[in-house]
């Protein structure tokens, strides 16, 4: 059984500050250890339920956060920036299941480190009229490939958001938010145990998860922090500006829709550079 794991950072237990998510500080080194621990727990749970071929896509920031030699299950590791499918690079129809590990809540949510793709540019994203975080957006690729998303691990709100688009997804809650920069975190070993158990359960129930939960054609509405960001987004074909700071992207081809969204994310970030 082939399992694809998209690993983010901010939803991991113990992560509550941007300093833990990047750079060369002690805080970042601690963050990397916490993320590796939950990633390996997900791999171990998948293997226990029959997973034989595991692919891990590093989906956070510069996307080289994990030590490849320390990944469990001899997992394949996809790392590095500017990947065409970004947080879903490497997924295709040869896989049997998708895991979202270490996922966080959408921008604007009263949840720890909440954001959607780029906190310096995106104010809100809606999928078919509903506010979505990264799980809903990334699920477009899974549906295009015909692979069910069966597991999400992360903060409490991330699971709630994901279920709007993936009602059968198994959720493992690793922490509860107190503020945007504080959380009640499970002990890492406790969190890893729950992730390991949840991964096994999710994979065991893979045949019960619908392959096409998101209605198509799908509509993404993206609101930016500034008007010039919305204008720049329209430089990409298929992007329509409908409000001073907002654009819409609609397509029956979910992979094309996601790729267009990623192109917008990559382009507009230039206006947020300091």
- The total domain count for the chain is 1
Domain assignment present for residue 234? The answer is no
Does the global pTM surpass 0.85?
yes
In eight-state DSSP terms, residue 186 is P
The confidence band for 162, taking pLDDT boundaries of 50, 70 and 90, is: very high
- Given a cut of 90, is residue 23 above it in pLDDT? no
Domain assignment present for residue 92? The answer is yes
Give residue 260's pLDDT. Answer: 98
- Given a cut of 70, is residue 22 above it in pLDDT? yes
Give residue 211's pLDDT. Answer: 94
Would you state the structure tokens that stand for residue 191, as one six-digit string?
Answer: 């969190």
Rounded Cα gap, residues 78 and 56, in angstroms: 6
Give residue 274's pLDDT. Answer: 59
- Please give the residue range of the domain that contains residue 69: 2-109+133-208
pLDDT tens-digit map of 211-245: 999 999 999 999 999 999 999 999 999 999 999 99
* Residue-averaged pLDDT of the chain: 97
Give residue 24's pLDDT. Answer: 81
Averaged over 117-134, what is the pLDDT?
A: 97
Domain assignment present for residue 200? The answer is yes
* 115 given a catalytic annotation: yes
Domain assignment present for residue 224? The answer is no
Domain assignment present for residue 47? The answer is yes
- Given a cut of 70, is residue 253 above it in pLDDT? yes
79: exposed, middle or buried (C-beta count within 10 Å: 0-12, 13-18, 19+)? middle
Rounded Cα gap, residues 60 and 195, in angstroms: 19
Domain assignment present for residue 258? The answer is no
Give residue 233's pLDDT. Answer: 98
Domain assignment present for residue 19? The answer is yes
Query: Of 60, 104, 115, 170, which one is the catalytic site residue?
Result: 115
């Amino acid at each position: 059984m082939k399992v694809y794991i998209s690993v983010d950072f901010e939803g991991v237990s113990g992560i509550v500050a941007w300093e833990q998510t990047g750079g060369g500080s002690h805080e970042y080194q601690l963050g990397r250890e916490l993320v590796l621990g939950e990633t390996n727990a997900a791999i171990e749970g998948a293997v226990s339920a029959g997973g034989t071929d595991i692919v891990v896509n590093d989906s956070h920031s510069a996307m080289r956060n994990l030590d490849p030699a320390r990944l469990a299950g001899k997992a394949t590791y996809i790392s590095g920036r500017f990947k065409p499918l970004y947080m879903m690079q490497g997924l295709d129809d040869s896989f049997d299941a998708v895991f979202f590990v270490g996922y966080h809540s959408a921008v604007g949510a009263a949840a720890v480190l909440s954001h959607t793709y780029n906190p310096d540019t995106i104010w809100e994203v809606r999928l078919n009229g509903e506010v979505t975080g990264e799980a809903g957006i990334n699920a477009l690729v899974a549906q295009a490939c015909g692979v069910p998303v069966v597991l999400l691990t992360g903060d409490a709100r991330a699971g709630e958001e994901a279920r709007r688009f993936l009602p059968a997804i198994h959720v493992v809650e690793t922490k509860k938010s107190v503020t945007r920069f504080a959380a009640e975190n499970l002990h890492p070993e406790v969190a890893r145990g729950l992730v390991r158990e949840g991964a096994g359960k999710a994979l065991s129930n893979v045949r019960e998860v619908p392959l096409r939960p998101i209605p198509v054609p799908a509509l993404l509405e993206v609101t930016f922090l500034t008007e010039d960001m919305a204008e720049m987004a329209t430089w990409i074909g298929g992007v329509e500006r409908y409000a001073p700071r907002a654009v819409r992207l609609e397509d029956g081809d979910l992979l094309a829709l996601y790729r267009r969204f990623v192109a917008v994310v990559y382009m507009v970030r230039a206006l947020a550079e300091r």
